[in-house]
Structure 1
Amino acid sequence: MKARDHEATSTTSRTSVLRRVAAHLAAMHLSGTLLLLTFLVLPAWALDAYGAVPADDPSADVPPFMIFMALAVGCVIFHVAVQIPSGLLGTWLGRNRTAAASYVLVPAVAGVLTFVLLWAVLKVGPATQVLPLWADFMARGSVAMASYVWLTHRLLPSPGRRPEGHAAAS
């Protein structure tokens, strides 16, 4: 009997792990897609840079499409370096709490990671130079990260709730 119980427990835990992985992968893809869609409204710095120098001017260092390429690369870097780790860490920290706690924890982690990433990439002195770009990324990322938390809470059962289809033990 013990071997059968162990096998059932092993299969259940494997299924649980696969369900958690699938839920996080779905949430990552949803949040990444939403983040990319937020860049349909271009940031002010990209609009300023696009019209700063005419393309036929010999002093133009890069062609104008490179500004849009920088947006796409920045979006991917933000998604991989900030959004995914903050989503995973925030949902892990909020796993035994309410969904509202995760909604607070994920952006808090993301705020710190965004600031560190921008500080490292831009290599600027005072924090006030990083703040406008940080606020832009946080405004764009907060909607996408909220979707991450929402989807993981919808797909994963909370510790106090029974999975659907299981009757209460008598």
Structure 2
Amino acid sequence: MHLSGAVLLLTFLVPPAWALDAYGTARAHDPSADVPPFMIFLTIALSCVGYHVAVQIPAGLLGTRLGRNRGAGTAYACVLAVTVALTSALTWAVLRTDDPALLLSVWADFMARGSLAMAAYVWLSRRLTT
């Protein structure tokens, strides 16, 4: 699981669009700014940790268990299906918005990052069991 968390953290080296938008509006040393710049980085770190705990760990454990005595492709498909369900629920619960474009963009961003990280997890779990 730590490998998937590390890969997820590394994917945030390319910041999400919402962070770039927020950083463009936050001016350094401006007390009237809505959000200070360090809060954007803190939000990214907390988003990474929250996603890892709420989605990646349960999806990795459950998906690996469901796809246990099958091929790596089936195990990854099971992990990905659980990840889709958990990411959808988490995105809606956190954002609580009726804007489908916002929900879809945040969901797609986390799914892209999460699927890369979960592929690393499935690869490592397959390597360790063979």
- Would you say same fold, with TM above 0.5? yes
1:79 matches 2:52: yes
Q: Shift in Å at residue 44 of structure 1?
A: 1.3
Runs of 4+ in 1 over 6 A off after TM superposition: none
Would the alpha carbon gap of residues 53 and 32 (structure 1) be closer, same or farther in structure 2, given more than 3 Å must change?
Answer: closer
Q: 2:32 aligns with which of 45, 49, 59?
A: 59
Q: Deviations over 1:102-136 (max 9, x none)?
A: 11111111011011001001111254431100100
1:49 matches 2:11: no
**3-state SS of the aligned residue for 1:51?**
helix
**3-state SS of the aligned residue for 1:74?**
helix
Correspondence for 1:102:
75
Q: Shift in Å at residue 55 of structure 1?
A: 3.0
**Higher helix proportion, which one?**
2
Write the distance in 2 (CA, Å) between the matches of 1:154 and 1:58. Answer: 52
- Structure 2: stretches of 5+ with no match in the other structure: none
Correspondence for 2:61:
88
Structure 1 length-normalised TM: 0.72
Q: Deviations over 1:74-119 (max 9, x none)?
A: 0000000001100001001001221110111111110110110010
Write the distance in 2 (CA, Å) between the matches of 1:126 and 1:46. Answer: 18
Percent identity between matched residues is 65
Correspondence for 1:113:
86
Write the distance in 2 (CA, Å) between the matches of 1:128 and 1:116. Answer: 16
Q: How many residues align?
A: 130
Q: Deviations over 1:9-56 (max 9, x none)?
A: xxxxxxxxxxxxxxxxxxx01111111001011111111110114234
Correspondence for 1:139:
112
